[in-house]
Amino acid sequence: MLMHMWILAARLSLAAVFTIAVTAKLADTNDLRHAVEAFGVPRMVAAILAPTMIATEFGVAVLLLTAPRYGALGALTVLTGFSAAVLANIARGRRLECHCFGRLSNGPIGWPTLARNGCLAGLAAIVASDGQFIWPLMALMSVMLILWTGPTSYRRWNARPGNAAAGLALWDREGDKWTLDRLLQRRKPLVLIFSQPGCGACEQLLPDVVAWQRDERITVALINGGHSADHSVPFELIDEQRASFAAYNITATPSAVLIDGDVNVVAAQARGAAAIGVLVGRAVQMSEQISDMPGFNRRGLLRRATVGMASVSALSAATYESAGKSSAAPDVNALEVDGAWLCNQTFALCTTAPCVPSATDPNISVCDCVVVNGYSVGFKSCSERAQSGRKVRSAFSTVNVNPNFAVLSCPSGVPWANCLDVECEIDPTNPAVAKCQCVTVTTGESLTFGGACETATCTSTIWSAATPDLPGSAQYRKGMKQLNQPVTFPATCPAPK
């Protein structure tokens, strides 16, 4: 009886894996065809082979449920054929995109791919042999499972936010060698974007990469897992051995990581165009204020000392010019405007922040915001919003707006987070970011600076947003005008076609 249960579990597990693979491939047939072409298959043949693969895997899934032994033999055949193709490309030093599960996990092939196939082949062998060699096969599967998940888990642990970034030594198209230290020599936030030939989503992202590389406030490096025919990106590093992919636990492309000037990984890995756009926006937000954070580095200390001396000089000059006047100049750091307060101080900026539901309070969303110094508006007074230790309040500002920003409108009924004036806590390991306890809203339309104009992200991500009237924005404009401070609001995203 127990043996039959093991065999049934193996059948259902294998059928589920093939069903997921088929469903994911059907949702992304264009990228599948590109991936097949990257394996060296002619384009005309790839156009036929890609749907044939889907049909074959679907047939295997059906047979596993209706004729288990034949389904298991079919699974063994498919897994053996694919493993042979993977092994041949690894032997030639080519780490192509797997696309085995569509965009669910479309990372490069490698030894973990073979180990995963070994696990699945073990399940198929259990079903095909009717459990005759179940214990040796399970022992083999255990070894394959360790080889499959062990290195990935270790790399994921090392690549978690707050850890030191892994070293790099890659060459660009001109043959110049680039290390991580060289990439960070400008002390600007560094975004590493990982791509590879045959990745359709990567190709669609290239125009954005070109625009991001022109932004002087950040450094953006495109790391390609092979030589691409598209040379539109000015700065591209080649990593045919995928060493950097492994070091940063990149298992799907396009993906990106953000590294600060202290050579630490700042945020969790971003996958997909929308998430990468958010990460780049976060890098821009960090650019002007990281070096001013307490205890950042000697350069930051010198800068603060210089600013302090300049402030003393300016104050002395102002005092000299205003000598004999009976009234003091108005406080430009705290200005009340029509019931709101415009404050020049440290605050948490959440205009592009992605959020997740609180684990303890269903009415709260926890948002990843950035810590900024400058003018912001809120409905709490400046003293109430003043930083206290690691506690800080969120507020509205356009201080970080750049050409990559746009206002995305999300429909009514889609959950969003209201972060205005809420309390936040600065990350002790990275004072440039803060976790804010925002109020979850489930009614009414919302506007967010996040999402990179991808309307699909309205439902896939809880964004920090606001109602269409943008509370506080009118007071912000008015107050900034009184202080002769520039204000730049992002453009509205084009209507979806």
Could you tell me which residues are beta bridge partners of residue 15? none
Lowest mean per-residue pLDDT among 47-56, 154-163, 204-213, 292-301: 292-301
374 with 246, same domain: the answer is: no
Beta pairing, strands 255-259 & 334-337: unpaired
pLDDT digits (tens, 9 = 90+) for 62-95: 999 999 999 999 999 999 988 888 888 777 766 6
278 with 132, same domain: the answer is: no
Look at residues 159, 174, 199 and tell me which one is the last residue of a structural domain: 159
Q: What is the pLDDT of residue 160?
A: 53
pLDDT digits (tens, 9 = 90+) for 296-338: 444 444 444 443 444 434 444 443 444 443 344 445 788 999 8
At position 29, the amino acid (one-letter code) is T
Q: Per the domain annotation, does 309 fall within a domain?
A: no
Q: Per the domain annotation, does 372 fall within a domain?
A: yes
CATH assignment at residue 253: 3.40.30.10
Could you tell me which residues are beta bridge partners of residue 373? 346
What's the domain count of the chain? 3
- With a cut of 60, say whether residue 433 has pLDDT above it: yes
Q: In angstroms, rounded to a whole number, what is the distance separating the alpha carbons of residues 337 and 343?
A: 11
Could you tell me which residues are beta bridge partners of residue 396? 377
Give the domain extent around 258.
Answer: 163-288
Return the closest-CA partner of residue 209 out of 196, 192, 225. 192
23 with 100, same domain: the answer is: yes
Q: What is the DSSP letter of 103?
A: G
Q: Per the domain annotation, does 385 fall within a domain?
A: yes
The three-class DSSP label of residue 497 is: coil
- With a cut of 90, say whether residue 181 has pLDDT above it: no
The crossing angle, in degrees rounded to 10, of helices 200-213 and 29-38 is 90
457 with 422, same domain: the answer is: yes
Using alpha carbons only, what angle is made at residue 9 by residues 8 and 10, rounded to the nearest 5 degrees? 90
81 with 138, same domain: the answer is: yes
130 with 252, same domain: the answer is: no
| Other CB atoms within 10 A of residue 447 CB | 20
Confidence class of residue 198 from pLDDT cuts 50, 70 and 90?
A: low
147 with 245, same domain: the answer is: no
Sign of CA dihedral 299, 301, 305, 311: positive
Q: Per the domain annotation, does 60 fall within a domain?
A: yes
